[in-house]
Amino acid sequence: MKHLKQLFMLFILCCSLVIPSTALAATNASSSSSSSSAVSSSSSNQAATDDSLQKIKQKGTLVVGMSADYPPYEFTTKKNGKTEYVGFEVDLAKQFAKDLGVKLVIKNMDFDSLLVALETGKIDTIISGMNVTNERKKSVDFSNTYYSGNSYFLINKADHDRFKKATDFKGKTVGAQNGTLQSTMIDKSMPGVKNKGLAKLSNLVIGLQSHKVDAVLMDEATAKAYAANNSNLVTFNSKLPSTAGDIAMAFPKGDKSLEAAANKTIKQVNDEDLINKQWIPQASKYMKSYKKQNTVLSYWRYFAKGVEYTLIITIVSVICGFILGTLFALMRLSKNKLLHSLAVCYIEFLRGTPMIVQIMFVYFGIGAVIQSMPALVAGIIAVSLNSGAYVAEIIRSGIQSIPVGQTEAARSLGMSKQTTFQEVIMPQALKNIWPALGNELITLLKDSSLVSVIGVSELMYQTQLVQSATYKGVLPLFITMLIYFVLTFTLSRILLHFERKMKHAH
Amino acid sequence: MPTKMIEVKNLQKKFKNNVVLKEITEHVDQGQVICVIGPSGAGKSTFLRCLNALEQPSSGQVLFEGQNLVGLDDKQLDQIRQKMGMVFQGFNLFPSMTVLKNIMIAPIKVKKTSAEDAKQTAMKLLAKVGLANKANQYPDQLSGGQKQRVAIARALAMDPAVMLFDEPTSALDPEMVEEVLKVMRDLADSGMTMVVVTHEMGFAKEVADQIWFMADGYIQETGQPDDFFDHPTSPRAQEFLKKILK
Ligand SMILES: Nc1ncnc2c1ncn2[C@@H]1O[C@H](COP(=O)(O)OP(=O)(O)OP(=O)(O)O)[C@@H](O)[C@H]1O
Ligand SMILES: [Mg+2]
């Protein structure tokens, strides 16, 4: 008991060491920049003393984070069956990368994950319709503004007569994407209105169409795009105070030289008015041309890719989880107090925390230490660790269900501990726990959908892409549900087959 | 002078505060058949399990072919246990393996015998215990007497120098006791060194070279079967025999 307590304290200590060290890295960066901040606004390259620009040029890629379900800012379409990011901010990002002379890499993630990703070095900059706010300025640096838009309400056409101005929404529910300026605006400037926040704008629009919310507050360009693409929706200016949102690129604190380079690109883009004159019209064209052939089924490749990744995550995690589970089961059964307590801590901690938190912790927390870790790897690690804890308990119960006489008989024949375990105990234990392991496998396949939060293109994530690309909410979900069911049903049949086979071999 | 196969010196065993074996000094010669008898709870099983170190003695020594087992590490014990076959009251066959595999597994995995040789030996042993036709069955398809004969064959497959039996017939229906005792009798006749914990007084009287009578954590009395059964000297033995012969 005492050991357990000590170990637990140790664990807490370790965790608290990891977290501040990343925070520390951030403050270091900001303190080093303070000397250069005075001159950074002059948009002169020489004035910047940090090496952020040089670093980008050295690695040859610019990693831009965006939340690509935001037409006409950024969204996905299909070109010759391939997913492509389009929208005026994608054009801006392309221009920026071109001016830097490096390759552009786009990372698509939830809007409210963008800031964390920037702070932990997963991305170099955010170009994602991000409004400049004082609060955000505390954690990131902003470039000069490249676009300003008002906030618009998107409503159902049928409600056109009921809702004409912001005050008409008293006592109603208005939705906004989590972490956006509009979400704050509802709270601050629309008293008596219930704020419904979701991570995906597309889900909010589905909610609007099924009357879960009465309106969705979003920026002008996006609202107009939705209205243009759906004849059942209309939009109007909210005219709320502080409604003009200045949109700018976000950089990690202190990346002044990179920011200066961005300002140069932005100045040129603004001078030529490229956004309004070329890029937004082009983006609208994409939206229209895809509206025609935009059936959900034409996105089957999205689903196929999703299934592929879901299976990869499931299979790799099952194998790793099984190895981990066996290891921790043995540790938990070990007479060595230290190993035993370690295993207990691991198992209890992982079973006692939500998997979605674990996934984000691995990606953002451990990912801050190992910068180059891809989301897929982070997802697999998190799912494996989680599954390992559950499998450990299953295996432990399996081992404990074998009578000690089996071990004694094997040992008295001269078999070593290891041989006894491998040849005598484990085969019998496996047979006993096969159904439980099968359940765990099916749970894991379903739970792998949680990995979509960190942007791994598994089935659930792909579904969200299809939703935002087709402006349809329910059908893609229904198809995904069917796919999951077919997968789990097939799997459980296969497992049952082996279970029967093992029984027959008896 | 016969060579000493097993020697026990001042053996003591306690579980927590419960002293089960108080002070035992005895030895088993090569080729000897010892039958250990005594009332329930006397410590017979514990004693037998100390002989192949399934239980670690609390103090004292257990020597096998001159080597002290106390304080050896796992690897060295694995070596020694190969030469000491053990048969349990509850058979402890491996239920997931066929009869043949049960017998072959230890030679293959421990002695690295080839599968072919192991199979040959196994079939020979199965014939010896009269179960050649059961080779491909699973343990739960066998009767108790058959299971115990397979268990004996399994232990013999390692070619042990001594065989330890812990009440091998106690879990059997009466009509199956004889088939197991016959196998054991044959084994004794072939010159195998044996230590048998048993309640089968007839078998002990007929087969044993020596009877060890255990009670209250001591070996109270040892002697030739005839002497022991006709003229027990210790009061505990007299009391015990009176009870079971009644
Ligand atoms: N692993 C153990 N832990 C604690 N006490 C034990 C353990 N094994 C045996 N004992 C105790 O040791 C004593 C002797 O047990 P043992 O099994 O050796 O007796 P026995 O002579 O074989 O009896 P029986 O004829 O019933 O088999 C008993 O009181 C038993 O409770
Ligand atoms: Mg006993």
**pLDDT, tens digit, 9 for 90 and up, residues A378-429:** 999 999 999 999 999 999 999 999 999 999 999 999 999 999 999 999 999 9
Whole-number average pLDDT of chain A: 84
Helix (H) or strand (E) holding A258: helix A256-272
Tens digits of residue pLDDT in A441-499? 999 999 999 988 887 888 998 888 787 767 677 888 999 999 999 999 999 999 999 88
Specify the pLDDT at position A16. 44
Judged by average pLDDT, the poorest of A356-365, B24-33, B51-60 is A356-365
Specify the pLDDT at position A280. 84
The two structure tokens encoding residue A109: 């993630």
CA angle at B237 for the pair B232 and B240, rounded to the nearest 5°: 125
Cβ B20 under 6 angstroms from ligand 1: yes
In chain B, residues 70-89 whose CB comes closer than 8 Å to chain A: 74-75, 78-79, 81-82, 84-86, 88
Cβ B40 under 6 angstroms from ligand 1: yes
Query: A259 with A141: CB under 8 angstroms?
Result: yes
Could you tell me which residues are beta bridge partners of residue B216?
none
Name the 3-class secondary structure at B171.
coil
pLDDT over 90, % of chain A: 47
pTM: 0.69
More confident residue, A295 or A154: A154
If pLDDT is split at 50, 70 and 90, which confidence band does A243 have?
low
Ligand 2 center–CA B87 separation, angstroms: 12
CB burial of residue B203 (10 Å; 0-12, 13-18, 19+) = buried
Query: A122 with A244: CB under 8 angstroms?
Result: no
Query: A181 with A127: CB under 8 angstroms?
Result: no
Lookup result for tokens 């960066």? A29
| Inter-chain touch B158–A417, beta carbons under 8 Å | no
Lookup result for tokens 């610019």? A62
When CB atoms are compared, the residue of B81, B90, B138 closest to A412 is: B81
If pLDDT is split at 50, 70 and 90, which confidence band does A241 have?
confident
Whole-number average pLDDT of chain B: 93
- List the residue whose alpha carbon is closest to atom 29 of ligand 1: B41
Cβ B45 under 6 angstroms from ligand 1: yes
Specify the pLDDT at position A43. 40
> B80 pLDDT exceeds 90?
yes
User: Is the Cβ of A335 closer than 8 Å to some Cβ of chain B?
Assistant: no
CB burial of residue A435 (10 Å; 0-12, 13-18, 19+) = middle
How many other CB atoms sit within 10 Å of the CB of residue A421? Answer: 18
Name the 3-class secondary structure at B8.
strand
Lookup result for tokens 């451990």? A366
CA distance B79 to A392: 32
Specify the pLDDT at position B22. 93
- List the residue whose alpha carbon is closest to atom 30 of ligand 1: B41
CA distance A325 to A431: 16
> A324 pLDDT exceeds 60?
yes
Specify the pLDDT at position A291. 54
CA distance B168 to B38: 15
CA angle at A262 for the pair A258 and A266, rounded to the nearest 5°: 170
Ligand 1 center–CA B41 separation, angstroms: 5
